[in-house]
Amino acid sequence: MNGWIHHLIIAPILVPLVAAALMLFFDERQRVVKAMISLASTLILVAVSLTLLRIESGPSEFDGVYLLGNWAAPFGIVLVLDALSALMLLLTALLSVAALVFSFARWHAVGAHFHTMFQLLLLGLNGAFLTGDLFNLFVFFEVMLAASYGLLLHGSGPLRVKAGMHYIAVNLAAALLFLIGVSLIYGTAGTLNMADLAARIPDIEPDRRILMEAGAGVLGIAFLIKAGMWPLCFWLPTAYSAASAPVAGIFAIMSKLGIYIILRLTMLLFGEGPSAGFGADVLLYGGIATLIFGTIGVLASQALGRLAGFSVLVSSGTLLMVLGINDGAISSGALLYLVSSTLTISAFFMLIELVERGQDAGAIVLAVTMEAYGDADEDEPEEGDGVTMPGTMAILGICFAACGILLSGLPPLSGFIAKFAMLSAMMGTGAIGVPPTAAVWVLVFLVILSGIAALISMTRAGIRTFWSSLEGTVPRVLVIEIVPVMFLLFLTLALTVQAGPAMQYMDTTIRSLSNPRIYIDAVRKAAPIPDYDGAASTEAGGK
Amino acid sequence: MELVLATAIGVMTGCGVWLILRPRTYQVIVGLSLLSYAVNLFIFGVGGVKTNVPPILVDGVPTSTLADPVPQALVLTAIVIGFATTALFLVVLLASRGLTGTDHVDGRNEPK
């Protein structure tokens, strides 16, 4: 054991839980106190996840398995920290700081319990990233979903309630599929611990393995709904564009949670052994279909919110496609793309709200879209107080252009580097003399095409917003609103400058993922702390 | 016994799927409830269908005659979570009914 630092593993779950519980003591009128608790919690999360990431990327052998209640692995519930979960924790924490600060300007005041639900959402996300147990994953997933239902409805209005209703219905159905999958797996393998399950798969006799694979398939559908694979994605653009800006900003990580779990489970359970490669074709073709659907959606979107929603699908589609190929070098490029695209989309969702605040010229075009998808008459929250941003249009324009560059994958920002890493791995620059096959050309073509589509759509939207405004009204934007957007965009810039170390980290991550033995052995060997006085007696008599 | 349980799960799932595809929110929520009952029974079933046996280890009793306690624990959690989320969904349905004046899932009135 590594002393107290070992307990940091559970901090990403405990900190938001305690913060959320604390906030229930305060009345809604004491919003400043709530905001401060919430901010403190997210800042602690950033510090903790940075520490965990540094430990994971360090050379030392860190024992990332945390036994809850000091019970050994297959019987007790474990939390497992590895390079991938540390990365996702940090990404979540950074997004949450940006979204939270953004909400201080006005959004946290338009409804009750914003901060409590926000912290519970973080609790669910962090728990899902850390857990090493399938059923615990379900519990954290539900915590996250329950909080997200509340957050999506935050701000109310007919459009949000309608989108929220569809979102909740779809996710309730997905949760039921999740349960069916989990129970099928338990029924055939007799375990819910992910590492134990991976170790037991070779021992399952063939006729029962089919049932296990069916269970895994049903389970996968639940996550693919979250990730937004075509044809399970029709709820996503509507729900995300209906959500208030800071909520949509943090929702950007939720579709990546689906991707994360699929990556984790396919690498762990179906990386090697008799069931190797299970579901890879579904991911590949599903990813391609999602990418095409998302690209068409990006081109067809008139409203910026829907454009961002379809960008989520493009990002999911690309990632699913790469998971289907399951090649080390391509996957590490894809991880970089995951980080970059999540930061971009989150920043874009928040930027949209600022840009559209002053936009009346496009209202006619917008009205047509809105008529097709629902009512446009949502209640705008009252103007917040604070310092107004000088040179608003210039800064908004620069941020918008940066988002466009990132979404389309143009140099010099990280969107380009990530796509370049993926594409060059697909073309196989490493293996000289092996020409890429026709299938690879199709994939390369699709990825580039989706970038062009994003470029066209963003240029069109940019011209309409910034150059052809008839009224010429400048939106009133507070510093506290634009700074989070700039912070996220700055992170993509940092990712560009530090692309070398970042790629190295992704490479290590994928290497350790593609060797599931490391994970399995770590969990199985983790022993309870022996000199814990009275552990045996209290456990025996306690329950 | 297995046949009865399987039939019950199948009938409830069938009814539930049909109901959630209906256009009225009330039908959707009843469908979701039926589906969750079916799933709960299904979880219960994967532990093996046994009657009148405790899930507690006792000295001298072979484990094969005991019930599996894990699905029972799972189903308990699933019931609680399912109940809470269904209640939350009900509130959203009421809000939607209040805002749109109709209980159509898309918030619009169908031609009668």
ipTM of this predicted structure: 0.92
**Distance separating the N- and C-terminal Cα atoms of chain A:** 27
Q: Which residues of A touch B81 (CB under 8 A)?
A: 138-139, 142, 175
- A531 lies in some domain: no
Q: Does B109 contact A at CB distance below 8 Å?
A: no
Q: Which of B39, B46, B105 is facing A165, going by the closest CB pair?
A: B105
Quick check: A382 pLDDT over 60?
no
Quick check: A368 pLDDT over 60?
no
Per domain, the residue ranges of chain B are 2-49+68-100
Considering only residues A299 and B49, tell me which one the structure prediction assigns the higher pLDDT.
A299
Closest CA to A70 of A159, A163, A162, A1: A1
- A280 lies in some domain: yes
User: With contact defined as beta carbons under 8 Å apart, do A528 and A67 qualify?
Assistant: yes
Record: contact B77-A135, CB cut-off 8 A: yes
Instruction: Categorize the per-residue pLDDT at A377 as very low, low, confident or very high, splitting at 50, 70 and 90.
Output: very low
Q: Which residues of A touch B86 (CB under 8 A)?
A: 172
Provide the token pair at A12.
Answer: 């990403």
Record: contact A182-B20, CB cut-off 8 A: no
Average pLDDT of the residues in B33-61 = 84
- A539 lies in some domain: no
Q: Which of A138, A142, A158 is facing B85, going by the closest CB pair?
A: A142
Choose the mutation target among B93, B99, B103 for the interface with A, i.e. most A CBs under 10 Å.
B99
A216-226, pLDDT tens digit by residue?
999 999 999 99
pTM value?
0.88
User: With contact defined as beta carbons under 8 Å apart, do B62 and B27 qualify?
Assistant: no
Q: Does B82 contact A at CB distance below 8 Å?
A: yes
Record: contact B81-A180, CB cut-off 8 A: no
Distance CA B109, CA A243 (A): 24
Record: contact A169-B81, CB cut-off 8 A: no
Q: Does A242 contact B at CB distance below 8 Å?
A: no
- A532 lies in some domain: no
- A419 lies in some domain: yes
B52-88, pLDDT tens digit by residue?
777 777 777 777 778 888 888 889 988 998 888 889 8
How far does A79 lie from chain B, in Å, by closest CA? 18
Window from A79-88, A339-348, A379-388 with minimum mean pLDDT: A379-388
A420-430, pLDDT tens digit by residue?
888 888 877 55
Q: Does A182 contact B at CB distance below 8 Å?
A: yes
Q: Does B76 contact A at CB distance below 8 Å?
A: no
Q: Does A165 contact B at CB distance below 8 Å?
A: yes
What letter represents residue B90's amino acid?
A: L
How far does A487 lie from chain B, in Å, by closest CA? 35
- A322 lies in some domain: yes
3-state secondary structure of A382: coil
Residue of chain A whose Cα is closest to the Cα of B108: A374
Burial of A172 (0-12, 13-18, 19+ CB in 10 A): buried
- A106 lies in some domain: yes
Residue of chain B whose Cα is closest to the Cα of A378: B99
- Length of chain B counted residue by residue: 112
Tell me the count of A-B CB pairs closer than 8 A.
90
Q: Does B21 contact A at CB distance below 8 Å?
A: no
- A536 lies in some domain: no
Helices (H) and strands (E) in chain A, counts: 21, 2
Number of domains in chain A: 1
Q: Which residues of A touch B25 (CB under 8 A)?
A: 165
Q: Does B84 contact A at CB distance below 8 Å?
A: yes
CA A152 to centroid of chain Cα atoms: 16
